[in-house]
Structure 1
Amino acid sequence: MQKLLAGASVAGAVFVMAVPAQAAKLAISCGAVGQELALCKEGVDAWAKKTGNEVDVISTPNSSTERLAVYQQMLAAGSSDVDIYQIDVIWPGILGNHFVDLNKYMGDEAKEHFQPIIANNTVDGRLVAMPWFTDAGVLYYRKDLLEKYGEKVPETWAQLTQTAQKIEEGERKDGNDKMWGYVFQGRAYEGLTCNALEWVASYGGGTIVEPNGDISINNDKAKEALTTAAGWIGTIAPDGVLGYDEEGARGVFQSGNSVFMRNWPYAWALANSADSPVKGKVGVAPLPKGGEDGQSAATLGGWQLSVSKYSKNPELAADLVKYLTSYDEQKRRAIEGAYNPTIAALYKDKDVLAANPFFGDLYETFTHAVPRPSTATGTKYNKVSSDFWDAVHTTLSGVQTADQALSGLERQLKRTKRSGW
């Protein structure tokens, strides 16, 4: 399994009670971004103590692109080493054939979750994954710095650019030569697809490939969006942002060296942790619009739990999934780690809202996020996304203009479409 995991680390969830002779041992893959791994282990430990079973918690690569490659390798081999897989919201159509139908184990519970996500996780009538937490891109900002410079939370990308530049220059004059205006996920990976889709959609430039399969990305609005973003590099965003993932961006913002940051909700709890230099100074708002006639667009993210059809204990694995995706466990994760629940009732829970005040204000953002075109492109989504993020990256780095990059991307996507999606 070490060979298949290609460097992923393995940590056993410690079980302190005596294990009955008939107890089973399961393995679950969990992400390690922010507090993910710790919260996963805590939930798993609670279930293990309750049921008298053992569970190994496997930490997989933070990059969703790298994690998918690991999963595909293991599942293609029919490996039984992992019973439960944490999968991205865009993977049910890619990996669904390798997972059991959870309808027979938790069909009633599924009714409590956001139905668009349940629909997303249903492939050919089979519920191949249960929602664990949902995500949408949000804008983090320094409340204290906006107040200091008499600025408001930006509503458009042009306003963000102007405000970021003003505060960056002011703070550098005051002695912080490390200050930047804006950080985001600019590395050439799935995270850049999420960021760039938000830019394009906010300008009214479509969603790369439309739900009916039409390729829409090569248009003037999309070019305007990418040209705007390219103008940030080296001005309000460091050149190094072209290598940032979620944690890279968070590291700069949380250290106090950026005015704005695009990230997922998980960063809220960490930004307000006891040892955070920006604790109490951070606000969260919807991402800016492309212009006065544009719209705020947040890419739909989130992670699900699936049971491998190669598991030797599928019923027990399904019981663990049922526990981890339950109301009480999602509430705990929301309070401790700011992970967005997929159960609607939790957005009215007083304890959850006390820990995450913006959950209520941004409810519409979370429930109306823009999906990536994984449904329209099916098993070809990975190719479509990688071609998109490569085109965006070449634009941001100044290798090509937005017009050149998107014209080339359109040709690539047409070739991919001809082979069927």
Structure 2
Amino acid sequence: MKFTRAACAVAASLASVALVAGCSGSTPGDSAAGADGTGPFTLVIGKDTSGKLQSKVIDLWNKEHPDAKAKVIELPASADEQRAAIVQNFQAHSDRFDAISADVVWTSEFAARGWIQKIDPSGLPIKDMLPAAVKTAQYKGDLYGAPITSAGALLFYRKDLISKPPTTWKDLIDDCRIAKQHNMGCYAGQFAKYEGLTVNATEAINSAGGSVYGSDGSVTVDSPQAKAGLDFLVNGFKQGYIPKSAITYQEEDARRAFQQGKLLFLRNWPYVYSLANAGGSDSVIKGKFGMAPLPGANGVGSTTLGGNNLVLSSYSKHKKSVEQFMAFMESPAVQRVEVEDLSNSPVLTDLYTDKKLVAENPYLPILKEGLLHGAPRPQVPAYDETSLRIQTHVYDALTGKKDTAAALKELAADLRKIPAN
């Protein structure tokens, strides 16, 4: 999964906003809505790049629930355009959007603004899910969504050059001598000034025992532990174990560098596995790389969590049907489809060790280990503003404009100015 978010694509979002303009009280199928909150409903998703959601999932639900069919509204691929359309719908108090597949970082904002409904956890298989995935759907201790996909990063490494993957940052840095011997870069992630930098920075901070916010909502990013985490990245550029060119890397830049044999280690999402193993002119490492959980300061690191939560609009007239659909989406059969046909990571823990799935996706058990140590990005209502502040100060530290301590001190001051609601 990629994490890409521009500052605000207002102009570009106008096309998607047309979906919700003037739609208050105009949900398709309203006449069939039951007094108990049942009836046909809309499911809002980002662009279905697999092209299989309708045939593999929705058609099955609709066949089994002819009186509560789901109609898919597919928004553009851009996360900004998706969010703009969804927010305008909420602000209009429209009932057009019933169920929404929301990026995990939107859940807290939507909950804080009263746009989405609390979910009764007793209707969902919470105990069977990855605890970290469940946490992404919570806000102030309450559940506001049904986790339907998860995502975490892996460490890809050249198994033909090192005997075992590093389990700590020290191990990784020590192995960089091998990269030097082979005239290649040692380690890279995503360090351009965009959402991927927030992901990589919070990952490093959490992997050193730090945090951006405490459990009580207070800003904690100016701690010694957070400094130790950010220092791993800052020192990488200073000392050379992160190549200078990586300051421009997004996901695809980093993937191509690794596939072309220019890196010993790569932090990236599981999608890299199939592409790097495909061979061809864009990959010289087919069969030559392995995967491991991200290393941290003293052991397994804390991957930043991605994925999507299915949330229920507070303005929906079909709440009961949507809640039933949530349970359907978290059933083992549908979760298998998420992996096999939609190329997503599931939220049900047992599927990460399922023999058939692992044979097709050998990274699953490794990813599970990382996800069990994972953490969400800051769960705050003003997430976009928070992320932009993180990107600005971390980028200044990586490029040497300020030292790590100063960058974190200024970041903490900025975060404390952002309204909590």
Q: Paired residue for 2:292? A: 285
Return closer, same or farther for 1:294/1:274 CA change in 2, 3 Å cut-off: closer
Return closer, same or farther for 1:411/1:155 CA change in 2, 3 Å cut-off: same
Q: Spell out the pairing of 1:354-369 with structure 2 (5 A cutoff).
A: 354-369=359-374
1:399 partner amino acid = K
- Percent identity (aligned): 28
Return closer, same or farther for 1:270/1:307 CA change in 2, 3 Å cut-off: farther
Q: Paired residue for 2:148? A: 132
Q: 2:192 aligns with which of 179, 187, 191?
A: 187
Quick check: 1:47–1:320 contact (8 Å CA) kept in 2?
A: no
Quick check: 2:102–2:311 contact (8 Å CA) kept in 1?
A: yes
1:157 partner amino acid = W
Secondary structure of the structure 2 residue equivalent to 1:299 = coil
Secondary structure of the structure 1 residue equivalent to 2:108 = helix
Q: Paired residue for 1:228? A: 232
The answer on 1:142 being equivalent to 2:158 is yes
Secondary structure of the structure 1 residue equivalent to 2:129 = coil
Secondary structure of the structure 1 residue equivalent to 2:190 = coil
Q: Paired residue for 1:47? A: 60
Secondary structure of the structure 2 residue equivalent to 1:154 = coil
Return closer, same or farther for 1:230/1:163 CA change in 2, 3 Å cut-off: same
Quick check: 2:207–2:296 contact (8 Å CA) kept in 1?
A: yes
> What is the rounded CA distance, in whole Å, between the counterparts of 2:124 and 2:420 in structure 1?
36
Q: 2:86 aligns with which of 71, 74, 77?
A: 71
Give deviations 1:245-287, integer Å, cap 9, x for gaps: 3344334334544332212334334434576734433311121
Quick check: 2:56–2:337 contact (8 Å CA) kept in 1?
A: no
Residue 410 (structure 1) shift: 2.3
Q: Paired residue for 2:116? A: 99
Quick check: 2:156–2:267 contact (8 Å CA) kept in 1?
A: yes
- Farther off after superposition, 150-159 or 399-408: 150-159
Q: Paired residue for 2:22? A: none
> What is the rounded CA distance, in whole Å, between the counterparts of 2:332 and 2:206 in structure 1?
33
Secondary structure of the structure 2 residue equivalent to 1:383 = helix
Secondary structure of the structure 1 residue equivalent to 2:186 = strand
Q: 1:341 aligns with which of 327, 335, 346?
A: 346
Q: Paired residue for 2:416? A: 414
Residue 140 (structure 1) shift: 1.3
- Farther off after superposition, 406-415 or 108-117: 108-117
The answer on 1:379 being equivalent to 2:381 is yes
1:121 partner amino acid = A
Quick check: 1:30–1:59 contact (8 Å CA) kept in 2?
A: yes
Q: Paired residue for 2:406? A: 404
Q: Paired residue for 2:179? A: 167
Residue 394 (structure 1) shift: 1.2
Secondary structure of the structure 2 residue equivalent to 1:87 = strand
Secondary structure of the structure 2 residue equivalent to 1:379 = coil
Q: 2:211 aligns with which of 207, 213, 228?
A: 207
Return closer, same or farther for 1:379/1:25 CA change in 2, 3 Å cut-off: closer
Give deviations 1:190-226, integer Å, cap 9, x for gaps: 332221122223333x112221334332234433432
Q: Paired residue for 2:334? A: 329
2:110 partner amino acid = L
> What is the rounded CA distance, in whole Å, between the counterparts of 2:299 and 2:256 in structure 1?
30
Q: Paired residue for 1:297? A: 302
Q: Paired residue for 1:113? A: 129
Where structure 2 has 5 or more consecutive residues not aligned to the other structure, the ranges are: 1-9, 19-31, 33-38
> What is the rounded CA distance, in whole Å, between the counterparts of 1:27 and 1:5 in structure 2?
19
Secondary structure of the structure 2 residue equivalent to 1:268 = helix
2:214 partner amino acid = E
Secondary structure of the structure 1 residue equivalent to 2:236 = coil
Residue 81 (structure 1) shift: 5.2
Q: Paired residue for 2:220? A: 216
Quick check: 2:353–2:364 contact (8 Å CA) kept in 1?
A: no
Quick check: 1:184–1:241 contact (8 Å CA) kept in 2?
A: yes
Residue 131 (structure 1) shift: 0.9
Quick check: 1:143–1:282 contact (8 Å CA) kept in 2?
A: yes
Residue 157 (structure 1) shift: 2.4
> What is the rounded CA distance, in whole Å, between the counterparts of 2:337 and 2:390 in structure 1?
36
Q: 1:87 aligns with which of 102, 106, 110?
A: 102
Quick check: 1:29–1:82 contact (8 Å CA) kept in 2?
A: no
> What is the rounded CA distance, in whole Å, between the counterparts of 1:99 and 1:4 in structure 2?
25
Secondary structure of the structure 2 residue equivalent to 1:287 = coil
Quick check: 2:396–2:407 contact (8 Å CA) kept in 1?
A: yes
Return closer, same or farther for 1:210/1:151 CA change in 2, 3 Å cut-off: same
> What is the rounded CA distance, in whole Å, between the counterparts of 2:130 and 2:164 in structure 1?
33
Residue 45 (structure 1) shift: 5.2
Instruction: Specify which structure has the higher proportion of helix.
Output: 1
Q: Paired residue for 2:13? A: 5
Secondary structure of the structure 1 residue equivalent to 2:179 = helix
Secondary structure of the structure 2 residue equivalent to 1:85 = strand
The answer on 1:394 being equivalent to 2:390 is no
Quick check: 1:151–1:163 contact (8 Å CA) kept in 2?
A: no
Quick check: 2:131–2:372 contact (8 Å CA) kept in 1?
A: no
Q: Paired residue for 2:6? A: none
1:391 partner amino acid = H
TM (normalized to structure 1)? 0.75
TM (normalized to structure 2)? 0.75
Residue 341 (structure 1) shift: 1.7
Residue 338 (structure 1) shift: 5.4
